[in-house]
Amino acid sequence: MRYFLHLAYNGSNFHGWQIQNNAITVQQVLNDALSLYFRTPIELNGAGRTDAGVHASDYYAHFELENPIIDSEIPKIVYKLNGLLTNDVLIYNIFHVEDSAHARFDAISRTYKYYINTKKNIFNIDFSYTFYGRLDVEKMNEACKVLFAYTDFSCFSKSNTQTKTNNCKIMQANWEQIDNGLIFTITADRFLRNMVRAVVGTLMEIGKGNIEIEDIHKIIESKNRSKAGFSVPAKGLFLSNIEYPQGLLKK
């Protein structure tokens, strides 16, 4: 039987989602907790990787169980699993899906949000990037429109990532000004490693007046990471939504 796990995590103390040697990851912590509770080895398949320090307020992974879970028992199981986990990880729900359902390959889109403080805020300093300079939000939003004209975003990707393609379809990209800060939202069918943080850093260079909107075309067409802007700190980045085909998630 295949099940989806709906969860969230604070990535501050993790080296990303995916299991690594000699590093604490979200996947490993969850594998250990589920294996302990169900008394059988459990290996989760996640919706995708997140880098070290990146957070997720909406994340899915799937796993297999030989014996089915009784629906009425799910709230108790979720409660007990959360008791086995540290305060860094929260399980929202568990639900049965078709055996062919896949947390990664069936995802239609993923949305990330990046948070910037323009004034010191001690209550969210661990979950946002503090930048005191002036940013031209209007120009940054105009630059976002350039992203829709391209699919190859090699210039925003870490090198040697072993991906088969660097093509992504961006469906949404925009900046929103809030009290004492900014939120950048971007949605695509997939993302490359470090892509969102590099996009944010590059758009900030436009906002600071260091480069012009027209330069985005040259940067993307260069397919060269060194041509793009800096990578903003991971702590401000959240995976905030994952969309699946209607009916796949039997909540």
What 193-196 contacts at long range (C-beta under 8 Å, 24+ apart), as own/partner pairs, is 193/49, 193/51, 193/157, 193/158, 193/161, 193/163, 194/51, 194/156, 194/157, 194/158, 194/231, 195/153, 195/156, 195/157, 195/168, 196/112, 196/114, 196/237
Show the CA angle centred on residue 23, arms to residues 11 and 65, nearest 5°.
80
Which pair of tokens denotes residue 25?
A: 């990851």
Residue 51 designated active-site: yes
Catalytic residue among 32, 51, 88, 136: 51
Question: Is residue 148 located within the same domain as residue 134?
Answer: yes
CB-based contact 174:140 (threshold 8 Å): no
Q: At what angle do helices 74-84 and 26-38 cross, to 10 degrees?
A: 120
pLDDT tens, residue by residue, 82-119: 999 999 999 999 999 999 999 999 999 999 999 999 99
Question: Is residue 70 located within the same domain as residue 30?
Answer: yes
H helix and E strand count, the chain? 5, 9
Residue that terminates a domain, selected from 73, 105, 137:
105
Question: Is residue 20 located within the same domain as residue 113?
Answer: no
Residue 165 has what pLDDT?
Answer: 86
Question: Is residue 147 located within the same domain as residue 212?
Answer: yes
Residue range of the domain that includes 142: 109-241
Residue type, 53: G
Residue 211 zone, left/alpha/beta (φ > 0; ψ -120 to 50; rest): beta
Which residues pair with residue 238 across a beta bridge?
55, 113
> How many residues are listed for the chain in this entry?
251
Show the CA angle centred on residue 72, arms to residues 3 and 61, nearest 5°.
20
Residue type, 37: Y
- Residue 189 domain flag: yes
Which pair of tokens denotes residue 129?
A: 């990037």
Question: Is residue 97 located within the same domain as residue 122?
Answer: no
- Residue 132 domain flag: yes
Question: Is residue 192 located within the same domain as residue 130?
Answer: yes
Residue that terminates a domain, selected from 105, 123, 158:
105
- What is the pTM for the complete model shown? 0.95
CB-based contact 125:119 (threshold 8 Å): no
Residue that terminates a domain, selected from 56, 88, 105:
105
- Residue 249 domain flag: no
Q: Using alpha carbons, select from 237, 161, 156 the residue that is nearest to residue 202.
A: 156
Question: Is residue 84 located within the same domain as residue 56?
Answer: yes
Question: Is residue 117 located within the same domain as residue 229?
Answer: yes
Compute the distance between CA of residue 17 and CA of residue 60 in angstroms, rounded to an integer.
11
Q: Using alpha carbons, select from 37, 104, 42 the residue that is nearest to residue 73.
A: 37
- Residue 248 domain flag: no
Question: Is residue 235 located within the same domain as residue 199?
Answer: yes
CB-based contact 129:203 (threshold 8 Å): no
Residue 162 has what pLDDT?
Answer: 64
Which CATH number covers residue 220?
3.30.70.660
Number of domains composing the chain: 2
Sorted by sequence, the CB contacts under 8 Å of residue 221 that are 6+ apart come out as 150
pLDDT tens, residue order, the chain (251 aa): 999 999 999 999 999 999 998 899 999 999 999 999 999 999 999 999 999 999 999 999 999 999 999 999 999 999 999 999 999 999 999 999 999 999 999 999 999 999 999 999 899 999 999 999 999 999 999 999 999 999 999 999 987 666 778 999 999 999 999 989 999 999 999 999 999 999 999 999 999 999 999 999 999 999 999 999 999 999 999 999 999 999 887 65
